[in-house]
Amino acid sequence: MTLYALKPRLQDLLRPLARGLADSRITANQITLATAIGSAVVAMIVIQASEMRWVFLLLPVWLLLRMGLNAIDGMLAREHRQLSHLGCYLNELCDVVSDAALYAPIAMVEPFGLLGIALVIFLAALTELAGILGQAVGASRRYDGPLGKGDRALVFGALGFWIGIGAPLPEWLAWMVPAMAVLLVVTVVNRVRAGLREVAAKTC
């Protein structure tokens, strides 16, 4: 069970907005690119001003907005006849770029550190690759947890909020990074195993 399971409810709330954007000739690919660019801009602002802890409040705000934009671009593609091969590439690539950009500012804060956050960014990208490869072997795009994109957004959004309000950051919080790394490895394994089970079920 991951936050991905809540996506249908979010889509129901945002469907009128998606319909309005489609009527205004806004495309899914434009939303996807704008979201990635916005993520990079937010990350650069936070990194450049990281000595002012309140600026980290931009992370939870943007991560929440990004979740909505991701739902909207998916609805535009599926429900308004905007599906395209280019859109598939942009969707996956921009998600990985956005994740990397938005996780990076946490490395500026002790006790987290550059190497640990870099490892989390790498493993997060690996989970998405494992999910995509399900389609390559004849399964569906896999979104298995325990630490999918939505769950990671919740964790990093909470960290950004905690840092932004000036709350204390005890040394034991450094253990969050290796814990996330372990959960990401489990996520990769779960997505591979689920994809293989799905393919095996189809061939039986």
What is the set of domains in the chain, with CATH numbers?
3-203 (1.20.120.1760)
Mean pLDDT calculated for residue range 187-194 = 97
pLDDT of residue 5: 62
- Pick the more confident residue, 107 or 8: 107
Say if pTM beats, i.e. exceeds, 0.75: yes
Q: Could you identify the residue written with the tokens 């990093």?
A: 156
pLDDT of residue 9: 81
Mean pLDDT calculated for residue range 126-152 = 94
Q: How much is the mean pLDDT over the chain?
A: 93
Structure tokens at 65: 């907005």
- Pick the more confident residue, 21 or 8: 21
pLDDT at 1 over 60: no
In b/e form, how buried is each residue of 169-192, taking b as 16+ CB within 10 angstroms?
A: beeeeeebbeebbebbeebbebbb
pLDDT band with cut points at 50, 70 and 90 for residue 4: low
pLDDT of residue 8: 78
pLDDT band with cut points at 50, 70 and 90 for residue 188: very high
Mean pLDDT calculated for residue range 59-64 = 96
Q: Could you identify the residue written with the tokens 């072997």?
A: 137
pLDDT band with cut points at 50, 70 and 90 for residue 90: very high
5-9, 21-25, 60-64, 179-183, range with the lowest pLDDT: 5-9
pLDDT at 159 over 90: yes
Answer yes or no: are the C-beta atoms of 61 and 69 closer than 8 Å.
Answer: no
What does the alpha-carbon distance between residue 62 and residue 110 come to, in Å, rounded to a whole number? 22
pLDDT at 204 over 80: no
Mean pLDDT calculated for residue range 182-197 = 97
pLDDT band with cut points at 50, 70 and 90 for residue 137: very high
Segments in 80-175 forming alpha helices (H):
85-103, 114-136, 149-164
